[in-house]
Chain A
Amino acid sequence: MEKFQTIISTYVPLPIENVDTDQIIPARFLKATTCDGFGDNLFADWRYDKEGHPKPDFVLNNPAFKGQVLVAGKNFGSGSSREHAAWAIAGYGFRVVVSSFFADIFRNNALNNGILPVVVSESFLSGLFDASKADPQATVTINLEEQTITSNVTGSSERFEINPYKKKCLLKGLDDIDFLLSNRNKIETYEQRRPFAY
């Protein structure tokens, strides 16, 4: 996994609540057996019409909005456990998703793929939407070391929470399997002493 460094970037605003994983990546695109290529189908049903042409009114099809950061409405990523949602977001080129609330499984899947979910207050979120509406060139700075997100238009800044273990993993580019494998003897000891073995 790539190490996570401070990001200063324009962002793509998606002011919709309850964006579920079926919107992020519809089920018919889940037939692949590798992790590649999902970015092209990110938000497919919002992004393309029936013939597969880009719908001009969808934000990803508006060349004014780019960047490594997706800013979305409350309760982002609800629904299915499909990690394809995280692969699609990463595949498109996002490293950070900002929202006022994330669904649990999505948050885990994102972190396991080097995507940082940043939880901000409702007012900070609407501030970001307002700023990009006024000027698509508006940027944010995300500093993981300090756990801060700053709107570079208004200068307002917020601190976000992240589990210290996950923070370390992201900063160092490590993953959980390395950690679990280093614990094999603990697992075997557990298997000997557990209260009831199935």
Chain B
Amino acid sequence: MKTLFDKIWDAHVVTSVEDGPTQLYIDRHLCHEVTSPQAFAGLRARGLRVFRPEQTTLTADHNIPTMGQDQPIRDQISRFQVDTLARNARDFHLTYYGLNNPKNGIVHVIGPENGYTQPGMTIVCGDSHTSTHGAFGAIAFGIGTSEVEMVLASQCILQTRPKTMRINFEGKLNEHVGAKDMALFMIARLTTGGATGYFVEYAGEAVRNLTMEERMTLCNLSIEMGARGGLVAPDETTFNYIRGREFAPKGERWKEAMAYWQTLHTDEGALFDKEVTFDVSQIKPMITYGTNPGMGMPIDGTIPQLDDIDEAGKISFERSLRYMGFEPGEKLEGKLIDYVFLGSCTNGRIEDFRVFAGYVKGKKKADHVTAWLVPGSWQVRKQIEAEGLDRILEEAGFALRQPGCSACLAMNDDKIPAGMYAVSTSNRNFEGRQGPGARTILASPLVAAAAAVNGKITQP
């Protein structure tokens, strides 16, 4: 009796180091401009080629502008970083989706939408939100640059086997509650370190009922509670999503793949190192009030009092509220906000834009709010246009930008100014994450839409 995680892991063990880590084979490797240059430099220094070039794909996303992408990048250092990626792609014979390529976009958005991400795979990328791909029943996790070099050199990585945890979401979701709220609720309960050392399987009725894109949102946020990754067993929803996409298996290969994929589930009675169950009827639309994703509460909730925080955590808690400009015990509903960011690999896919557009349709953006709407990829942007959502957004006073990570990590010009409040659909509310001094309130696309229209934190 095996868990889903065990089945995939065991199928990828090349060998094990005595008293040490496992040498794990990697099916797919994704690279972007920020965490790869030093790895390619390492290969050059050792005189190595890429071992399996067809298994690595490159995209530029983290450090690119989201306007005027047809022009050369103005920031010289950023341009050099993107050019370096293009050069590495050429020198090492790798597929590269650069700026203006129709397949360009955020690495964790383009993998799934092109059918590159499939059940049973091992997938790595030098970005912690690689856990997104786990939605397809894959072992997917973020790696550091030394590990990027290892994969380029050997298509393998050395890993200690993580412990396994199953998180069951039982019951039916309330109205206006989605995968983002489930995730913020879960992280608030388990804390940002609560799943460190574990690989999580998400299960239960509420997870089964999620669409693929919602499952991606949930798996994406696994890392925010410290987990190595999160995954969902593949089912009809998964297969229907993959079928027909560009890199999906076709014909006989599809049948073979399906025969294998259908074995990918946790056996009845298989044991996890830890198991947690949430009743989703408890979950309401969520926001964060602090500077880590575990500091979440329902929109109508109140920030904890200092007395509720354990001794060792008091300094960090106070520091965090000082940074945010909030008081212990404060309610945030009704609070004015300055910026709204819809985008990122957490919530920058077509369904997120549908939800946002659905809410703002026939309404107007609040005058004092600056809104950045950044599709996760060119394909998402095309789809937005095909469905006429761009017109709905425009009529409500919103403009679309070009794809990229944008204000999720604010490496490019999309920085929230110091002291300003941003309701953001991304994944991290760390100090300075969205720009030096920026104050981030994480929320779902629906809550972000409500904030954009009403100019304040409000129930959707």
Interface residues of A (CB under 8 A from B): 15-18, 20, 22-23, 26-28, 30-35, 45, 50, 73-75, 78-83, 86, 101-105, 108-109, 112-113, 122, 126, 163-166, 175-177, 179-181, 183-184, 186-187, 190-191, 194-196, 198
Q: Is B334 an interface residue (CB 8 A)?
A: no
Contact B25 A164 (CB under 8 A): no
Contact A78 B292 (CB under 8 A): yes
Which residue of chain B lies nearest to A102 when distances are taken between CB atoms in the complex? B196
Contact B431 A22 (CB under 8 A): yes
Q: Given contacts A34-B41, A81-B35, A175-B146, are A187 and B433 in contact (CB under 8 A)?
A: no
Q: Mark B63-81, 1 if CB is under 8 A from A, else 0.
A: 1000000000001011011
Contact A22 B430 (CB under 8 A): yes
Q: Given contacts A175-B146, A179-B17, A194-B25, are A31 and B316 in contact (CB under 8 A)?
A: no
Which of B42, B153, B411 touches A27 (beta carbons < 8 Å)?
B411
Q: Given contacts A104-B228, A198-B28, are A81 and B23 in contact (CB under 8 A)?
A: no
Contact B155 A187 (CB under 8 A): yes
Bound complex: CA A27 to CA B128 (Å) = 14
Chosen A-B contacts, 17 in total, with CB atoms closer than 8 Å, are A22-B431, A22-B432, A27-B411, A30-B62, A31-B78, A45-B436, A75-B192, A80-B128, A83-B146, A101-B196, A105-B128, A108-B143, A126-B312, A165-B19, A180-B23, A183-B15, A195-B11
Interface residues of B (CB under 8 A from A): 11-12, 14-15, 17-21, 23, 25, 27-28, 34-35, 37-38, 41-42, 46, 48, 51, 62-63, 75, 77-78, 80-81, 84, 118, 120-121, 126-128, 130, 142-147, 149-150, 153-156, 158, 160, 162, 192-193, 196-197, 226, 228, 256-257, 260, 292, 312-313, 315-316, 319, 409-411, 418, 428, 430-433, 436
Q: Given contacts A30-B34, A86-B144, A109-B144, are A78 and B192 in contact (CB under 8 A)?
A: yes
Q: Is the interface of B mostly helix, strand, loop or mixed?
A: loop
- What's the minimum C-beta distance from A107 to chain B, rounded to whole angstroms? 9
- What's the minimum C-beta distance from A150 to chain B, rounded to whole angstroms? 22
Bound complex: CA A73 to CA B315 (Å) = 10
Q: Given contacts A31-B63, A180-B23, are A16 and B142 in contact (CB under 8 A)?
A: no
Contact A164 B19 (CB under 8 A): yes
Contact A112 B17 (CB under 8 A): no
Chain A residues within 8 Å of B130, by CB? 81
Q: Given contacts A27-B411, A198-B118, are A22 and B196 in contact (CB under 8 A)?
A: no
Contact A163 B156 (CB under 8 A): no
Which of B11, B63, B142 touches A81 (beta carbons < 8 Å)?
B142
